[in-house]
Structure 1
Amino acid sequence: MIELRLEIEDLADTRFAVSAFNEAVLSLRVWLLPGYYALQLPWLHHARESLGGLDIAPLLALVGPNRAVPDFLTPRPDEPVAGFDAELDRVRRVPPAKVAADIAAVHEGRPVPAVLADGLRRPARLRDRLAELLHAYWTATLEPHWPRMRGVLEADLLYRAQRLARGGARLLFADLHPGITWRDGVLRLELSYPHRELRIPITGRGLCLMPAVFVKTPGMPLDPGEPPTVSYPARGVATVWESAPPAGPGVLADLVGRRKAAILACLERPASTTDLARRLGVTPGAVSQHLAVLRGAGLVGRARAGRSVLYARTPLGDRLATGSPVRIP
């Protein structure tokens, strides 16, 4: 159990961020534990085909026996939506001593795998080698999927912002994950990999909450001295790899048309026009036309999240899409 104590100022400083670089590092765990990360199996299948002859053994050796990864490879982002190259540049500037210490910490006193052990004699060179390898790995296996991943992550940010606006911290933390609870100014985390019992004051450092695609349970840096960051699984992760949209209610399709009904069904989470077009197999222009009609009917709304405009069902749209009774005044 980890307890993070937040004062009023800390709540005011709490922010959200997503990171392409963190996703690349966290995805390494899927190769080692595919059964545990079952939702990511469609991605893993494509990644194996895309990898070519790239040897990622040194990257896989970074994952510790309890799925932890070195803190220097998962820095807290400086921007709400951190790009891969910017985060990679930060990693290249990590002091060599921290590289060595973080890799050793991940392996919890066990011998570091041989594929990394030799490199630790010259940690600066190892750091640069890992950075180059991560860049090649990202380009081959994740960069083509990033627009869809970012859409899911930004949709989560929009949802959390709405929760915070409606009910403050209590509502914000209520459904981040079953292993995250909030009470009396303390955020409690039940982590799936071993940590010491810790009580960490946040005062003055700010808390960053990070939705992630390649996360199944809450996570934090191994070193409590790192900037306080909590990762959690984003809503709608399974839809990242989805190729077919969910079917809408038959009666609704008769009422508003098959395509508009399918769009409403897809909006069980906020989504961008591009995301909807991909899932429906139509052009973004066609989706935009249907969304304009649905907005005019009061069934969907929209809001900007980062560089994307996300659409979401209104309460009336929810009731129609789920077949719930609609009260007529």
Structure 2
Amino acid sequence: MAVRIIVSPGDFAASRFVMSPVANTVGALLALERGTSAYGVAPWAGRVRERYLGLLRADPSLREVARAVRGCRGVPDFLAPPQSGMDTAIDDELAAVRATPDELAREQLDRYGAAEALPGPEVGARVARALRVIWDELIGPDWPAARVVLEADVIHRAGQLAAYGWSHALQDIGPDLRWDDQGWIELRDMEGPPIRLAGTGLCLTPIAYGAQWLSLDPPSYALVYPARGSGRLWSAAPERRDGGALDRLLGRTRAALLRELSAPAGPSHLAATLGLSVGGVGDHLAVLRDAGLVRRARAGRWVLYRRTPLGDALTEADPSGMSRRA
């Protein structure tokens, strides 16, 4: 069972990374309704499970949308319409969901084996209300930290794209996707005839709540995928051990920053990951940079830091300074 996306040079030129709060909300709903074993989202789902069950009991619209999502074989496109940029607002996306014609919504539900789901009129409006509840109660409070992780994923892949091409940018984009240098992408968890993008490109949409799906809403197509590092966002927080040599040498905060910089990251990402202020992170990074332990580079509108070889050597010499709680 697989579907191939035939990608032309024109499609590569038209492809772009985009941000979608609604796709993250749908991904969260999928994790809660279809299982949580993949993509590292289980800790988050376990944390919010009781609150989610309370929302289901209190909100009939959410109950029926959750039931429809649970019964679908895929993700109907109208649940998360493809976006066009990195500054998408949740209100604008929900307005698009709300405006979905009933005929289109039912055709898509039928395509994914849920023809009887969501009976009655104003399907899009009911779905938008349910997604708003999930967003307000379960997603919104974590969104600043989640967005930092999503932006870090985009920065990494954009760098891979610039340096090595699409084969590197997409090579670890998800366990169910296979890239072939002949010019096609294969999604192993979908079925259907080959899809030709015909110059429209792909909207590459990272999410922090697990799941991967392809949106087929011409003239826009979107590949929604789990962002790099999203599992760490929901895993147990790092536990510091007393007595690590790197902690004693640099201080706990600077040692933690140095360990985190095995891959490029910006101050906002580091602050969200380690629970620090952005200003404080900036001050510590300046000290580490002056000491020759990290270097700074610009990638588009982002300033990124990464360890130098000296920073790598110090970190590798003292791997026991941190552990993860079980």
Pair 1:169-2:166 in alignment? yes
Query: For residues 49-64 of structure 1, what are the structure 2 equivalents within 5 Å?
Result: 49-51=50-52, 52-53=54-55, 54-55=58-59, 56-64=62-70
Give, in angstroms, the shift of residue 179 of structure 1.
3.5
Number of aligned pairs?
Answer: 310
* Residues 93-116 of structure 1, C-alpha deviations (whole Å, 9 max, x = no match): 22221111112222x2x5524xx2
- Partner of 1:288 in structure 2? 282
Alpha carbons of structure 1 residues 126 and 158: separation in structure 2 relative to 1, 3 Å:
same
**Aligned residues: percent identity?**
32
Alpha carbons of structure 1 residues 45 and 178: separation in structure 2 relative to 1, 3 Å:
closer
Give, in angstroms, the shift of residue 12 of structure 1.
1.5
- Partner of 1:12 in structure 2? 13
Separation in 2 of the partners of 1:321 and 1:142? Answer: 34
- Bigger drift between 246-255 and 55-64 goes to 246-255
Give, in angstroms, the shift of residue 200 of structure 1.
1.8
Alpha carbons of structure 1 residues 37 and 8: separation in structure 2 relative to 1, 3 Å:
closer
* Residues 170-224 of structure 1, C-alpha deviations (whole Å, 9 max, x = no match): 22222223433333442222332x412x3222222112222222234x4212x47
Pair 1:84-2:84 in alignment? no
- Partner of 1:220 in structure 2? 214
Separation in 2 of the partners of 1:309 and 1:85? Answer: 29
SS in 2 for 1:214: coil
* Residues 30-70 of structure 1, C-alpha deviations (whole Å, 9 max, x = no match): 22233434722332244345455442212212315465221
Pair 1:143-2:147 in alignment? no
Alpha carbons of structure 1 residues 317 and 211: separation in structure 2 relative to 1, 3 Å:
farther
Where does structure 2 lack aligned partners over 5 or more consecutive residues?
319-326
- Bigger drift between 18-27 and 28-37 goes to 28-37
Pair 1:126-2:127 in alignment? no
SS in 2 for 1:30: helix
- Bigger drift between 11-20 and 144-153 goes to 11-20
> Runs of 4+ in structure 1 displaced over 6 angstroms?
none
2:203 counterpart letter in structure 1: C
Separation in 2 of the partners of 1:34 and 1:64? Answer: 10
Pair 1:112-2:116 in alignment? yes
1:189 counterpart letter in structure 2: E
Alpha carbons of structure 1 residues 65 and 268: separation in structure 2 relative to 1, 3 Å:
farther
Alpha carbons of structure 1 residues 181 and 294: separation in structure 2 relative to 1, 3 Å:
same
- Partner of 2:33 in structure 1? 32
Pair 1:263-2:257 in alignment? yes
- Partner of 1:327 in structure 2? none
Separation in 2 of the partners of 1:230 and 1:38? Answer: 16
Separation in 1 of the partners of 2:239 and 2:160? Answer: 25
Query: For residues 140-289 of structure 1, what are the structure 2 equivalents within 5 Å?
Result: 140-192=137-189, 194-196=190-192, 198-216=193-211, 218-221=212-215, 223=216, 225=218, 227-242=220-235, 244-245=237-238, 250-289=244-283
Are the equivalent residues in 2 in contact too, given 1:252–1:261 (CA < 8 A)?
yes
SS in 1 for 2:220: coil
Give, in angstroms, the shift of residue 71 of structure 1.
0.8
Are the equivalent residues in 2 in contact too, given 1:29–1:67 (CA < 8 A)?
no
1:160 counterpart letter in structure 2: R
Give, in angstroms, the shift of residue 274 of structure 1.
4.2
Give, in angstroms, the shift of residue 11 of structure 1.
1.4
Separation in 1 of the partners of 2:197 and 2:115? Answer: 33
Normalising by the residue count of structure 1, what TM-score does the alignment of the two structures yield?
A: 0.82
Separation in 1 of the partners of 2:101 and 2:32? Answer: 28
Separation in 2 of the partners of 1:14 and 1:200? Answer: 15
Alpha carbons of structure 1 residues 278 and 174: separation in structure 2 relative to 1, 3 Å:
closer
SS in 1 for 2:40: helix
SS in 1 for 2:78: helix
Alpha carbons of structure 1 residues 112 and 320: separation in structure 2 relative to 1, 3 Å:
farther
Alpha carbons of structure 1 residues 174 and 322: separation in structure 2 relative to 1, 3 Å:
farther
